[in-house]
Amino acid sequence: MEGTATWYGLTDTEGRRKPAYYALSTLWTNRKQKSPLHDVHIKGPSEELEPGKTYEFKAITENNISKTARYQWYLCENEYLDRTGKVVQLAGGMRAKVTFPKEPSKYRLYLYIHDGKGNVVTASEPVPVSN
């Protein structure tokens, strides 16, 4: 059973197409179909994270992400999809300030970037928080 909301899949839970959809479509139809969105990664602080503190994270993307793209960041406990903590988007969504709950735990930070035309690219990053 899948443990994160972004693992594999051709679409997300809202039916938006991921880059894998276009790759598979190219193979099935023998016609080149390029995803309008490409991979994204999350870069966070290098120090050990502490409960109750705020840290900044950044979306690392290829240059083709449109200026009209919409960003959605959220934090969940690693084993559950219940949102927690406080996430504030910065720089139009390319960065986010994340305030972690006061309880040490294994958290996971999610990022969805969508173009408003039915396409999405996703990333998630495990973020352990300890005392």
Residue at 105 is within a domain: yes
Rounded to an integer, what distance in angstroms lies between the CA atom of residue 127 and that of residue 44?
9
- Residue-wise pLDDT tens for the chain (131 aa)? 355 666 668 888 888 999 888 888 888 998 988 888 878 899 999 999 999 999 999 999 876 677 778 999 999 987 777 899 999 999 889 999 999 999 999 999 999 999 889 999 999 999 999 87
CA nearest to 43, candidates 123, 115, 130, 106: 123
Question: Is 108 a domain residue?
Answer: yes
pLDDT, position 38: 78
Whole-angstrom distance, CA of residue 125 vs CA of residue 128: 10
Containing structural domain, residue 56: 19-129
State the burial class of residue 108 (Cβ atoms within 10 Å of its Cβ: 0-12, 13-18, 19+): buried
Q: Within a domain: residue 119?
A: yes
CATH of the domain at 32: 2.60.40.10
Tell me, what's the pLDDT at 80? 73
Look at residue 1 in the predicted model and tell me its pLDDT. 38
pLDDT of amino acid 36: 80
Count structural domains, the chain: 1
16: nearest Cα among 99, 120, 101: 120
- Judge contact between 110 and 73, C-beta under 8 A: yes
